[in-house]
């Protein structure tokens, strides 16, 4: 006992004292001494079974190793209660009632509960696919999949009346992680709103600024509830209604609201939590406010200046401006004094031929199914020679397809060695169609091909940040909900494979590199397909961010 009172227990094999623990008096002296030094040893605590030491036995069963062993046996129960051990979730998730979940400060469930489930936050978690591939939904991240199964086991083990608001919020969170937004919204509607919630504290039609500021004594679920309410409010955004008399579903209860208060729930929450004392959450709510202001500025051009001023430095240059990387014209090849050259570009609905020492060109037009073409040959635009400086006669799949139209174009004579430009209007049959345009000069043996996408989109790709922004080419307004499919390749010879897909947000912005795998580090080049039901489609290429 004297040795145990002063020894370095990390360098002491406590198994050597087991034989002493056979004697109950010795056992109780030893365990009392170890407990006074805050030392826990399963080897010693195991003798609690032999000597009927209930407090020590509870401590033994609550140890991590024992809980893991028991949890694997009792998994079908998810929650378990006995005089010696209670398995439950953390305070809140897994509680048997909201009265326990809402206790302030947090208390141990049933006095001696051991956590079977602990709610975890995954940030960031970005899914590669926006839609289910095949008939079965698969969560690629195995850690998230295990956590999701634990949540379901926890909730399924309860009677319906025992399922708490915290349980439902945990389910909502996991549904959002899986991009199952409609199901998350439906589940969230079943969560009773806390009385002090900023998301529900304002009356229909009242300015968001009147939201009640949460107090330190607020229900501990209030912050999580408000954040999820604000997050899902963005999915109710109606940019058309936001510029008129009111907003759509985002107003709640179908109430019409003045245009400045579109996204009313998100606005109310952002204002209520401005300056929140926890930096992590303060940043999250500030981002909500920033996106609300950007969306309003884009939807109502008349208020663009005021909204931008309110945003201040919150709007980054890559989100509001254009980049030197955005060039819609193929670069002109350097003319040699006697060498024929030919370059092809499309501006608007006009074919632009830049040539030297060439007398005529044959234009061929091949109609495209853009998404099918992209999915099978994502890097076709480069291999086709569009904008390239070298000669190429490769059209990929189109080399074996009969063209849908052919046009012979005589070129005006130019001085030898001098570069000239000739413009030809796209034939009306192809002006509103996605087509691959091929230009050939039989006498010079030159082929050039570029895709023509009939669209009204301007796509700004910011390679340094792995983001793109889609705006209307005529009005400059952001295009939300544009579908983006991303392919990548790891080397020049790589034909490319699927990387991720998704949709632009309310600002028309999409992060095409973020993904919860290590694929970015292998990427040499990205191919980007952007499709808008109303404004057409386009394909871009981009290099990965340098760091």
Same structural domain, 67 and 188: yes
Q: Please tell me the predicted confidence (pLDDT) of residue 73.
A: 57
Q: Please tell me the predicted confidence (pLDDT) of residue 67.
A: 59
Same structural domain, 91 and 187: yes
Same structural domain, 288 and 352: no
Residue 276 placed within a domain:
yes
To which residue do tokens 């006992």 refer? 1
| Per-residue model confidence as pLDDT tens digits over 470-512 | 999 888 899 999 999 999 999 887 888 999 999 999 999 999 9
Which helix (H) or strand (E) element contains residue 64? helix 64-73
Please compute the mean of the pLDDT values over residues 172-190 and round it to a whole number: 92
Joined tokens for residue 516: 């919860």
Same structural domain, 490 and 388: no
Q: Please tell me the predicted confidence (pLDDT) of residue 327.
A: 31
- Highest mean pLDDT among 86-95, 159-168, 298-307 belongs to 159-168
CA distance 512 to 487: 10
Share of the chain above pLDDT 90, in %: 26
Domain, as residue range, for 137: 63-192
Provide the CATH number for the domain around residue 413: 2.60.40
Provide the CATH number for the domain around residue 507: 2.60.40.180
| Per-residue model confidence as pLDDT tens digits over 129-179 | 888 887 888 888 888 888 898 888 888 877 888 888 888 999 999 999 999
Residue 52 placed within a domain:
yes
Banded pLDDT at 206 (limits 50, 70, 90): very low
Joined tokens for residue 233: 């409010």
Banded pLDDT at 71 (limits 50, 70, 90): low
Q: What does the mean pLDDT of the chain come to?
A: 75
| Per-residue model confidence as pLDDT tens digits over 408-436 | 999 888 766 678 899 999 898 888 888 88
Query: Of 420, 452, 484, at which residue does a domain stop?
Result: 452
Range of lowest pLDDT (104-118, 139-153, 260-274): 104-118
Residue 515 placed within a domain:
yes
Q: Which residue has the higher pLDDT, 407 or 307?
A: 407
Q: Please tell me the predicted confidence (pLDDT) of residue 212.
A: 42
Q: Please tell me the predicted confidence (pLDDT) of residue 455.
A: 84
Which helix (H) or strand (E) element contains residue 170? helix 165-177
Query: Of 452, 474, 504, at which residue does a domain stop?
Result: 452
Q: Is the pLDDT of residue 63 over 80?
A: no
Query: Of 402, 424, 452, at which residue does a domain stop?
Result: 452
Same structural domain, 86 and 122: yes
Same structural domain, 83 and 176: yes
Q: Please tell me the predicted confidence (pLDDT) of residue 253.
A: 33
Closest CA to 382 of 251, 496, 216: 496
Contact 472, 301 (CB under 8 A): no
Q: Considering its fold, how many domains does the chain have in total?
A: 5
Residue 264 placed within a domain:
yes
Residue 166 placed within a domain:
yes
Neighbours of 136 (CB within 10 A): 6
In angstroms, how far is CA 234 from the centroid of its own chain?
Answer: 14
Q: Is the pLDDT of residue 180 over 80?
A: yes
Q: Are strands 350-356 and 86-89 parallel, antiparallel or unpaired?
A: unpaired
Residue 331 placed within a domain:
no
Q: Please tell me the predicted confidence (pLDDT) of residue 328.
A: 29
Same structural domain, 95 and 171: yes
Range of lowest pLDDT (111-125, 133-147, 290-304, 384-398): 384-398
Range of lowest pLDDT (250-259, 429-438, 441-450, 475-484): 250-259
Same structural domain, 294 and 401: no
Same structural domain, 238 and 301: yes
Please compute the mean of the pLDDT values over residues 447-459 and round it to a whole number: 86
| Per-residue model confidence as pLDDT tens digits over 30-51 | 999 999 999 999 899 999 999 9
Q: Is the pLDDT of residue 267 over 70?
A: yes
To which residue do tokens 């056992």 refer? 27
Please compute the mean of the pLDDT values over residues 249-261 and round it to a whole number: 38
Same structural domain, 246 and 161: no
CA distance 148 to 155: 11
Residue 197 placed within a domain:
no
Q: Helices 54-62 and 64-73 sit at what angle, rounded to 10 degrees?
A: 80
Same structural domain, 188 and 75: yes
Neighbours of 150 (CB within 10 A): 23
Same structural domain, 422 and 471: no
| Per-residue model confidence as pLDDT tens digits over 340-396 | 888 999 887 889 999 888 888 999 998 888 888 788 878 865 433 333 333 344 455
Q: Where are the alpha helices (DSSP H) in 348-396?
A: 370-376, 380-383
Q: Please tell me the predicted confidence (pLDDT) of residue 400.
A: 55
Residue 139 placed within a domain:
yes
Q: Which residue has the higher pLDDT, 166 or 260?
A: 166
């Amino acid at each position: 006992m004297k040795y145990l009172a002063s020894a370095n227990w990390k360098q002491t094999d406590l198994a050597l004292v087991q034989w002493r623990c056979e004697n109950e008096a010795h056992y109780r002296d030893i365990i009392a001494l170890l407990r006074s030094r805050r030392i826990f040893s399963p080897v010693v605590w195991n003798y609690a079974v032999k000597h009927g030491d209930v407090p020590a036995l509870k401590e033994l069963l609550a140890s991590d190793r024992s809980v893991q062993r028991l949890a694997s046996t009792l998994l079908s129960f998810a929650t378990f209660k006995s005089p010696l051990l209670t398995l439950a979730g953390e305070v809140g998730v897994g509680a048997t009632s909201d009265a326990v979940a809402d206790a302030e400060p947090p208390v141990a469930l049933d006095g001696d509960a051991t956590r079977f489930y602990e709610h975890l936050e995954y940030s960031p978690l970005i899914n590669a696919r926006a839609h289910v591939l095949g008939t079965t939904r698969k969560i690629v991240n195995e850690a998230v999949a295990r956590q999701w199964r634990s949540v379901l086991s926890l909730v399924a083990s309860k009677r319906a009346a025992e399922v708490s608001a915290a349980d439902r919020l945990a389910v909502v969170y996991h549904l959002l992680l899986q991009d199952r937004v409609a199901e998350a919204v439906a589940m969230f509607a079943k969560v009773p709103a806390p009385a002090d919630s900023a998301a529900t504290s304002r009356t229909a039609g009242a300015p968001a600024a009147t939201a009640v500021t949460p107090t330190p004594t607020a229900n501990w679920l209030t912050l999580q509830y408000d954040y999820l309410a604000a997050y899902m409010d963005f999915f109710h955004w109606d940019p058309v209604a936001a510029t008129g008399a009111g907003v759509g579903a985002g107003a709640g209860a179908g109430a019409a609201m003045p245009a400045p208060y579109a996204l009313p729930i998100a606005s109310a929450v952002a204002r209520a939590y401005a300056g929140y004392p926890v930096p992590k959450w303060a940043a999250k709510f500030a981002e909500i406010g920033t996106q609300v202001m950007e969306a309003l500025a884009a939807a109502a051009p008349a208020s663009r200046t005021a909204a931008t001023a309110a945003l201040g430095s919150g709007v980054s240059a890559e989100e509001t401006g254009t980049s030197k990387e955005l060039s819609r014209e193929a670069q002109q090849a350097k003319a040699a004094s006697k060498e024929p050259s030919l370059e092809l570009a499309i501006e608007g609905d006009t074919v632009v031929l830049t040539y030297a020492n060439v007398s005529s060109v044959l234009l061929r037009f091949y109609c495209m199914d853009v998404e099918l073409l992209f999915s099978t040959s994502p890097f076709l635009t480069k291999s086709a020679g569009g904008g390239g400086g070298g000669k190429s006669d490769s059209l990929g799949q189109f080399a074996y397809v009969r063209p849908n139209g052919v046009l012979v174009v005589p070129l005006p004579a130019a001085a030898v060695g001098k570069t000239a430009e000739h413009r030809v209007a796209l034939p009306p049959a192809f002006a509103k169609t996605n087509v691959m345009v091929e230009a050939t000069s039989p006498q010079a043996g030159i082929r050039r091909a570029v895709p023509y996408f009939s669209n009204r989109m301007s796509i700004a790709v910011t390679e340094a940040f792995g983001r793109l922004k889609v705006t209307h080419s005529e009005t400059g307004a952001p295009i939300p909900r544009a579908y983006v499919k991303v392919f990548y390749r790891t080397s020049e010879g790589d034909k490319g494979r699927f990387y991720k897909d998704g949709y632009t947000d309310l600002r028309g912005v999409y992060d095409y590199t973020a993904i919860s795998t290590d694929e970015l580090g292998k990427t040499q080049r990205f191919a980007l397909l952007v499709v808008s039901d109303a404004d057409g489609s386009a394909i871009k290429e981009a290099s990965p961010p340098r760091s």
